[in-house]
Structure 1
Amino acid sequence: MNTAQVELAGEHWKAQPGQCLTMGRTGDVIIDDNLYLNRIFLVLFFADGFWWLANVGSRAHATLTGGSGLTTSQLGPGSRMPLVFAQTVVTFSAGPFNYEINLFIDEPILHTVGAPRTLDSADTNAGGTVFTEGQLLAILAVAEPMLKGSGVGLWAVPTAVQAAKRLGWTQTKFNRKLDNVCDKLDRAGVMGLKGARHEQALGRRARLAEYAVNSRIVTSHDLPMLDAEWGRGRHPVAAAI
């Protein structure tokens, strides 16, 4: 049977055709008691041979990412969208907090096949922007708190000092990598990473973390790379062998 499953912060809810799951400040899946959330924000239901996700809220948009990051769509208030991949990641913001919900269906219409991504070589993201391994690690260090769990606000984004320490890098090295990342994304049209006349935007780390998570430049599966890089910094001789 084509069942669906909702995963939020390690908890799971299942639905079968003929059932629906409501999600929000109240409902079957209580996301949070955050007053910025609608009482009922999202509804998962089965119709016309598909599982659908509907945004029944009045304010917030949700971003749906499927196919291991190959497709990204916006779900605005009053709209609905069919779920065609085995897993769809739903991200959204409510006030100062960001959330992530995973949706799974047993009988997807589309399947993706590809080699797993690693940080061992240059990677391509954000509309063709190419990042080096070091640049991706800098992004990952900034986005780590948001990748570790839903409901973590932008206030949790680390300072430049904390991010450099997390990687085992000097402050100069981290700042250089961060500058390169922001320059590339700014040229690609990503707003909020540069101020007027190209001076550094004060909140660029928060904006970078938000953009990287929502566009899935980095995901929670990449987090072990941080410990690996920190270990190389502590044992440079062993890492060089």
Structure 2
Amino acid sequence: MKIQILTLFPDVCEGMLSQSILGRARKRGSIEIQALDLRQWAVGKHRVTDEAPYGGGPGMVMKIEPYASALADLCSPHTRTVLMSAQGRRFQHTIAYEYSLEKEVILLCGHYEGVDQRVADHLVDDAISIGDYVLTSGILPALVFVDAVARLIPGVLGNTDSTGQESFITGLLDHPSYTRPETFQGWKVPSILLSGNHAEIQKWRAVAALELTKQRRPDLLGFHLAQEGGYPHG
């Protein structure tokens, strides 16, 4: 899979993309991720990418021309284009899985007061928001999107079972996890996890996941009841 991020600050992206799981996956060739400077497609001596908004108002708005030129150069018949926008549909695991099946994705990062509306109306296939709040740019949402999608691609995670046993796969939050030491400041690991009885451990984890979801995200319970399972690749 190939993901390209269009932003004014590609170096900010590289700091995350070159580290840990994503960095190793890129080196192995499990996924191709590039952060590209949108200014490459801006024209004029100063390569201006933003202008004051028509009708007045505070801040600057990103111009449509650099995005249009970049997409004309970068898109193939397999490319899906996504604008990171507070006005987009809210990102969740099902959307991450949907995009993990794509061959090529280009993420458009807005900056300042956002982008010319014609970008959203005419240049992209989708718009994604990572939550009901506003950020200074689309860089952090793009990185969240990349991380959530990339880890669902076979070969990116070292343990192929990892993505099948975590929050939101079945509509519930993940079960609690513990590791050494067995006791810390009087706080003990549940004894069932030390028993070696894998059948009982699985039962405990199922109940614990349900209880944790009831406590912290009761809104997910209806979705869980409608689900038949996870989202296997293939």
Task: State if a TM-score over 0.5 links the two structures.
Answer: no
Larger C-alpha radius of gyration, 1 or 2? Answer: 2
TM score, norm. by length of structure 2: 0.32
Q: Which has the higher strand share?
A: 1
Q: Which has the higher helix share?
A: 2
Q: Tell me which of the two structures has the higher relative contact order, counting C-alpha pairs closer than 8 angstroms and 6 or more residues apart.
A: 2
